[in-house]
């Protein structure tokens, strides 16, 4: 039997100054949204404790700016956007940590294979024209943008892109033919 999930829309109420404090209005918002946000984050993370942490972080950030957020057309949307940004940040940090760990692990390398690959790449690079070689080295190996490489090579950036593309094609064809 399918479950029907009802969406709760938060509509900021006009509150007269009855002595109701700042925290109570935020608490009303929290009561309306916390379970729904927790369920959404649980679906995304697959882990209840991580979902609770993300929910707590999002509500803390919203509370810090509640005086301006409560006046927004859609404070719930802001809450969800804040929670998703926190999730993305954690996810990226986790991926970067795994990459660092993977780089630290000693790898079993075949030194003869490495020498053969280096020799093949060296031969393929030497088959390029000097301008193609400069463009590919600057943009791919050294990470310069086409604009920066164009200033270094004293040519237009479109020429750098064209030379790099030609170099990639020649390298690909040269290296595909090697065993």
Instruction: Evaluate whether residue 147 is within a structural domain.
Output: yes
Which residue segment(s) compose the domain that 79 sits in?
22-98
Q: How far apart are CA 154 and CA 148, in angstroms?
A: 10
Q: If DSSP codes are grouped into helix, strand and coil, which group holds residue 12?
A: coil
Distance, C-alpha 46 to centroid of its chain:
19
42 & 86 share domain: yes
CATH for 88: 1.10.1740
Instruction: Evaluate whether residue 6 is within a structural domain.
Output: no
- Among the candidates 98, 126, 160, a domain finishes at 98
Count of domains for the chain: 2
Q: What is the mean pLDDT of the chain?
A: 80
Instruction: Evaluate whether residue 163 is within a structural domain.
Output: yes
125: left (phi over 0), alpha (psi -120 to 50) or beta: alpha
Which of 73-87, 108-122, 144-158 shows the lowest mean pLDDT across its residues?
A: 108-122
Q: How far apart are CA 58 and CA 78, in angstroms?
A: 9
CATH for 157: 1.10.10.10
Contact at 8 Å (CB) between 127 and 170? yes
> Does the pTM exceed 0.85?
no
Residue 108: the pLDDT is 66
Q: State the DSSP code for 14.
A: P
The winner for highest mean pLDDT among 7-11, 24-28, 64-68, 140-144 is 64-68
Residue 13: the pLDDT is 40
Span 3-15, pLDDT tens digits: 444 444 444 444 3
Span 12-28, pLDDT tens digits: 444 344 344 444 589 99
């Amino acid at each position: 039997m399918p479950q029907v999930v009802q969406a709760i829309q938060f509509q900021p109420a006009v509150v007269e100054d009855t002595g109701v404090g700042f925290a109570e209005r935020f608490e009303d918002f929290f009561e309306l949204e916390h379970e729904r946000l927790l369920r959404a984050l649980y679906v995304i993370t697959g882990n209840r404790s991580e979902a609770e942490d993300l929910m707590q972080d999002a509500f803390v950030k919203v509370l810090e700016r509640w005086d301006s957020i409560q006046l927004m057309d859609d404070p719930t949307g802001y809450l969800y956007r804040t929670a998703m940004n926190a999730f993305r940040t954690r996810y990226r940090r986790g991926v970067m940590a795994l990459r660092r760990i993977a780089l630290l692990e000693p790898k079993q390398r075949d030194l003869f294979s490495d020498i053969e690959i280096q020799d093949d790449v060296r031969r393929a690079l030497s088959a390029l024209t000097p301008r193609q070689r400069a463009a590919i080295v600057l943009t791919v190996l050294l990470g310069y943008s086409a604009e920066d490489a164009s200033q270094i090579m004293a040519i237009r950036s479109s020429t750098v892109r064209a030379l790099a593309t030609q170099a990639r094609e020649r390298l690909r064809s040269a290296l595909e033919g090697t065993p």
